[in-house]
Amino acid sequence: MTAHGSTGTALIETLKARLGEAYVLTATSDIDAHLTEARGLYRGEALAVVRPKDREEVAFVLQECAKAGVPVVPQGGNTGLVGGGVPYGGVVLSLTRLDRIREIDPVNATMTVEAGCILKTVQDAAGEAGYLFPLSLASEGSCRIGGNLATNAGGTAVLRYGNMRDLTLGLEVVLADGRIWDGLKGLRKDNTGYDLKDLFIGSEGTLGIITAAVLKLFPKPHARVTAFIGCASPYDALKVFQRLREAAGDQLTAFEYMPEFGIEIVLKHMPGSVRPLAEKHNSYALIELSSPQKDADLQSQLEAVLGEAFEEGLVQDAVLGSSEAQSQALWGLREHLSEVQRMEGGSIKHDVAVPVSRVAEFIDVATKACEVEMPGVRVCAFGHFGDGNIHFNLSQPVGMDKAKYLSEWERFSRIVHDIVHDMNGSISAEHGIGLIKRDELVHYKDPVALDLMHSLKRALDPQNILNPGKVVAVGENLPSAFPKVG
């Protein structure tokens, strides 16, 4: 709280006068939850947490902060996993009061929502209008659309529907100087100049503050079938994926990978969960086919492909979840996998992607490299196999000191990210860069690309007041990127 002393005090008074005392919070107890992030890896500080009610108030906050030279750190549900919402001085701009669904246009198959809408609320509103809004991720009950946009969120439906970028047609953004760009168009085609929308999506609040968006809606799936297969290796799983993609096309809506270790810890920690196949296998995949057609015969399609793969030994065993209850039980195994890792001690996490053609090789090579590096480490590589996106997490050896284990984070990251990099992959598939990967990005990103990013940052935020220190490292006294653990 050392910086911006008297300037800060004057700014707070100005903001209170416009937003109301109740919406400019400074008491420690009021702002405490906004200074940390989900995993407790970082703890920041802030002059205040401001809670504007609409885009005009957001614009006012930005104007005043720009005048005062005070940083602005936007927050939605504060569920991010890369420290992108942690403030290091300045003002936290909470967007939770901008939570209106402004419009649903069923014929255009779009909805216009404000940044503070909870993802689940948006999914439900789409459902009530007879449509599907497909973005689906673990924190959907508390994350907000603005955060989904700022991080170009992914999740389990990307294989079929794309990530947040692909689900967005238009944006409304407040710029660093407080001007409002109204790009809320619901057009499928628009070639009138540079693609501003995609510049802000995924920029993690460092180029502008997204206040609303026009989202795409899709026909609801009326038929669905789920399967759980066991394979001898990720290589076999990849061959099965390829055949399903060719046969089912866009009816293939999920192909999620899990290792035997993942199944083991779900069974151990989740009461009521049941091993889906009789025997243990090296690799598992949760497969879903769906269609808007009520009478689509997805089950025969899936059985045909899996039957053939079984004959050839690519699939060792399989079970079909044809009822909704069976389907949910199978999905449950996948969905609980994130949380149960916490119960196995320290976990060093990586959110990486490689070309789909190399995803099996990546799992294989990276697993062996980590096991050699630290005998006893338990690799939990799982996730969106069909997108080439693996959550490559490493549970600590049984009995090791947790803090000591977590102090190896940087060393393991180098090993895993080097392998990813060699495979022309990405060190952040869906979580973003934020703080935790800012310096890793400098290490791995093409220098020309980094320089372009800096040019864009300077062009759109010349004062460096939008979420400074995140994504691109500009200026001095940057907050430390690697989490303080132990």
**Interaction residues for a copy of itself, span 348-367 (CB under 8 A):** 353-358
Kindly state whether residue 430 participates in binding a copy of itself, applying the rule CB under 8 A: yes
Strand 72-75 to 91-94 pairing: parallel
* Interface mask toward a copy of itself for 457-486; x: CB under 8 A: -xxx----------xx--------------
127: part of which helix (H) or strand (E)?
helix 119-128
Task: Report which residue type is found at 121.
Answer: T
Task: Candidates 281, 349, 350, 384: give the one binding a copy of itself (CB under 8 A).
Answer: 384
d(CA 220, CA 26): 45
* Interface mask toward a copy of itself for 442-461; x: CB under 8 A: --xxx-xxx-xx-xx-xxx-
Structure tokens at 322: 């044809």
Stretch that binds a copy of itself, among 29-37, 73-81, 151-159, 256-264 (CB under 8 A): 151-159
Q: Put residue 381 in one of left, alpha, beta given phi > 0 → left and psi -120 to 50 → alpha.
A: beta
Kindly state whether residue 398 participates in binding a copy of itself, applying the rule CB under 8 A: no
Matching residue, tokens 């402004």: 102
* Interface mask toward a copy of itself for 5-34; x: CB under 8 A: ------------------------------
To a copy of itself, the closest distance from the beta carbon of 262 in angstroms equals: 20
To a copy of itself, the closest distance from the beta carbon of 209 in angstroms equals: 14
Matching residue, tokens 């079984």: 310
d(CA 254, CA 154): 13
Task: Candidates 428, 436, 469, 483: give the one binding a copy of itself (CB under 8 A).
Answer: 428
Kindly state whether residue 157 participates in binding a copy of itself, applying the rule CB under 8 A: no
Our CB check for a copy of itself shows the closer of 123 and 151 to be 151
Our CB check for a copy of itself shows the closer of 11 and 352 to be 352
Best CA proximity match to 65, nearest among 142, 130, 3, 138: 3
To a copy of itself, the closest distance from the beta carbon of 317 in angstroms equals: 24
d(CA 263, CA 270): 10
Kindly state whether residue 328 participates in binding a copy of itself, applying the rule CB under 8 A: no
Q: By CB under 8 A, what part of segment 73-102 binds a copy of itself?
A: none
Best CA proximity match to 70, nearest among 42, 47, 43: 47
Kindly state whether residue 245 participates in binding a copy of itself, applying the rule CB under 8 A: yes
Structure tokens at 255: 């192909």
Q: By CB under 8 A, what part of segment 189-228 binds a copy of itself?
A: 189-196, 198-199, 201-203, 207, 218-219
Kindly state whether residue 187 participates in binding a copy of itself, applying the rule CB under 8 A: yes
DSSP class of residue 114 equals: E
395 in Cβ contact with 406 (< 8 Å): no
Structure tokens at 358: 């190399």
364 in Cβ contact with 238 (< 8 Å): no
Q: Strands of 162-244 (E only): list them.
A: 168-174, 180-183, 209-216, 218-219, 223-231
Stretch that binds a copy of itself, among 93-101, 115-123, 134-142, 163-171 (CB under 8 A): 163-171
Task: Candidates 32, 250, 312, 401: give the one binding a copy of itself (CB under 8 A).
Answer: 250
Task: Report which residue type is found at 126.
Answer: A
Kindly state whether residue 128 participates in binding a copy of itself, applying the rule CB under 8 A: no
473 in Cβ contact with 442 (< 8 Å): yes
Name the phi and psi angles at 118, rounded to 5: -70, 140
Our CB check for a copy of itself shows the closer of 37 and 430 to be 430
Kindly state whether residue 330 participates in binding a copy of itself, applying the rule CB under 8 A: no
Half-sphere exposure (CA, 13 Å, Cβ side) for 35?
A: 18
Our CB check for a copy of itself shows the closer of 209 and 265 to be 209
Half-sphere exposure (CA, 13 Å, Cβ side) for 284?
A: 26
Our CB check for a copy of itself shows the closer of 241 and 405 to be 241
What are 379's strand-pairing partners? 394
What are 380's strand-pairing partners? 393
To a copy of itself, the closest distance from the beta carbon of 241 in angstroms equals: 9
Best CA proximity match to 152, nearest among 442, 450, 431, 456: 431
Task: Candidates 21, 30, 32, 105: give the one binding a copy of itself (CB under 8 A).
Answer: 105
Our CB check for a copy of itself shows the closer of 57 and 351 to be 351
d(CA 86, CA 73): 7
Our CB check for a copy of itself shows the closer of 115 and 238 to be 238
Kindly state whether residue 381 participates in binding a copy of itself, applying the rule CB under 8 A: no
Task: Candidates 9, 293, 328, 480: give the one binding a copy of itself (CB under 8 A).
Answer: 293
Q: How many residues bind a copy of itself (CB under 8 A)?
A: 90
Stretch that binds a copy of itself, among 25-33, 64-72, 431-439, 478-486 (CB under 8 A): 431-439
Task: Candidates 424, 475, 477, 484: give the one binding a copy of itself (CB under 8 A).
Answer: 424
